[in-house]
Every structure is written in C-alpha cells, then in structure tokens.
C-alpha cells in the first residue's frame, strides 16, 4: 500500500506541472471570492421561447462554446485577448466534457454532448459556427459590423435553421433526445443571442465592444467554475470503473486530472453551493438554485 501511495503521489506531482495556465488566468480574472456565479443564470433568459417546440435543455459545454463564438468576432478587441480566451475555453472544455461524460449520462445529454464535441472541432479546425465564419477579418474593414449587428446575425442564422427544421417535421413531435446536431447548436446560440440583445435594449444601453467581450468572458468563467465543482466526484467515479482491465487506466487518468486541477479546485471550494450532489452535476439545476432568494 505504501508503494502504491508513493506512486500515486509521484503521478499527482507530475500532473501538477501541467496546470492549464490560460484557464487559471481566466478564472482568476473573473471569479472573485464574493462572486455569485451570476453568469450561470444570465447567459440564457427563460422568457425567450425559441421557435423549437421542445423543452430546452442546457449542458455545461454548449453555452460555453456559443458564448465563445460570439465573443471571438467582437470587433476592436486586441487579438491577444481573443487568443487567450480561446485557449482558456479549449482547456476548460477538457473538464466540462469529462463531467458530462461521467455525470450526465441520460440520452438527451449524450445527444447534446455529441453535437457539442463536433461543434468545437469545427470551430477549432474550420473557424466556423455551422456555416457562419468566425474569421475576424470577415467582420472588419469594408465588411465592418457593429457588435449588435453580429449578435443579430447569429440569432438570424440560428432562427433560420430552427424554422427549416420545424417545416421539415410538419408539426410532428420530435423528442429532445433525438434532435439533430445542427438544431441543438442553433437553439443554444439563438437563445443566448436574444438574451444578450434583450439585456442591453431593456436597460437602454449601448453595446460597447470591450464591455461586451468582458461580460461574455465572465459568463464563460462562471459556467466553467460551476461545472468544475463536480471534478472531485467525476474523478472518484473514474476510479471505480467496473471493468478490471480498465481500472488501471482509469485510476491513472483520474490522478492526472486531480493533479492538473489542484489549484483550480482550491479556488472553487468557496463556490460550492448547498445543493444535492446529484443536482450539482446539471447546469439547469444550478440555474434553479441560484435564482432562489
């Protein structure tokens, strides 16, 4: 047992050297000791009903990616800030995907996760949200657009996809766990874009580029933080793989994960709410909890 413990400690120390610095910087910038993680609630206003006649279900990763796609094309933001946010999100998604794989196993979440993984691959490899380019040059120069124009563009593109899907089903009910990937992705960004527009318009505020980028980055950080409070539980479950042949690999992966997230978890302890452990695994349950007075 002593040799096993020493081996585990060496693995943890080795993994600690791989801390994801971009993600840590994002969390340090936006998540304060007194933070209430309001971004978990404010990214999506439930008052907005999408054209999709199906109950909307949120995952951890999908709103993070949707918010990122909007943020990275906001004009007049220094490229270094955009790059740092993009890297932070890439690092954060490693953990949110793990939590979803381990703790969100119902069929509807499996379907969303598949859509999300494909979407992020397209964002990274092709610099596109579905058919909408995320190349910053497409929104600058002679093609210059205001932040409001860009948000409306995403909302319009998403609404078009949702309306086409509704026409194709001819009113026939489709269960949410069977929704096509494109529809899941479009529904997320439609609701988020509409929420952003409503936030500014209802308060009679101008959309200022830097303020919007900061606002969206803060929402992303809040969602990642809330999700990462599930890492210890997800790690423990990985260590209890039922198949003997998988156990050694699972333990090594779990130890590596614990090492990588040591500093992050230390920062998160003060943000763990008084929630049922099973409910903590789901972002929509967090949203219900955080709305309570």
Lowest mean pLDDT among 25-29, 109-113, 258-262: 258-262
H-helix or E-strand spanning residue 164: helix 147-169
The band of 4, judged by pLDDT with boundaries at 50, 70 and 90, is very low
User: Each residue of 12-49: pLDDT tens digit?
Assistant: 455 445 556 788 889 888 876 546 789 999 999 988 78
Work out the average pLDDT over 163-186.
Answer: 92
**Total-model pTM:** 0.88
Say if residue 265's pLDDT is above 90.
no
The percent of residues in the chain predicted with pLDDT above 90, rounded, is 55
Work out the average pLDDT over 143-149.
Answer: 87
- What integer best gives the mean pLDDT of the chain? 85
């Amino acid at each position: 047992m002593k040799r096993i413990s020493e081996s585990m400690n060496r693995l943890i120390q080795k993994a600690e050297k791989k801390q994801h610095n971009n993600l840590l910087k994002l969390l340090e910038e936006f998540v304060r000791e007194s933070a209430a993680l309001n971004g978990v609630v404010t990214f999506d206003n439930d008052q907005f009903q999408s054209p999709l006649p199906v109950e909307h279900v949120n995952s951890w990763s999908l709103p993070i990616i949707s918010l990122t796609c909007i943020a990275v094309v906001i004009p007049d933001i220094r490229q270094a800030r955009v790059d740092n946010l993009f890297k932070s999100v890439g690092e954060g998604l490693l953990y949110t995907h793990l939590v979803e794989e381990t703790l969100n196993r119902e069929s509807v979440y499996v379907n969303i996760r598949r859509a999300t993984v494909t979407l992020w691959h397209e964002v990274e490899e092709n610099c596109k949200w579905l058919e909408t380019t995320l190349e910053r040059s497409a929104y600058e120069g002679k093609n210059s657009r205001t932040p409001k124009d860009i948000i409306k563009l995403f909302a319009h593109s998403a609404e078009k996809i949702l309306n086409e899907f509704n026409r194709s089903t001819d009113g026939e009910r489709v269960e949410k766990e069977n929704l096509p990937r494109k529809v899941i992705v479009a529904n997320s960004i439609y609701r988020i874009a509409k929420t952003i527009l409503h936030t500014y318009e209802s308060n009679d505020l101008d959309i200022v580029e830097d303020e919007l980028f900061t606002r969206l980055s803060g929402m992303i950080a809040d969602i990642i933080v809330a999700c990462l409070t599930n890492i210890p539980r997800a790690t423990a479950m990985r260590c209890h793989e039922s198949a003997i042949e998988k156990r050694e690999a699972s333990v090594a992966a779990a130890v590596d994960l614990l090492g990588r997230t040591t500093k992050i978890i230390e920062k998160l302890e003060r943000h763990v709410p008084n929630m049922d452990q099973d409910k903590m695994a789901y972002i929509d349950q967090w949203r219900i909890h955080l709305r309570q007075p």
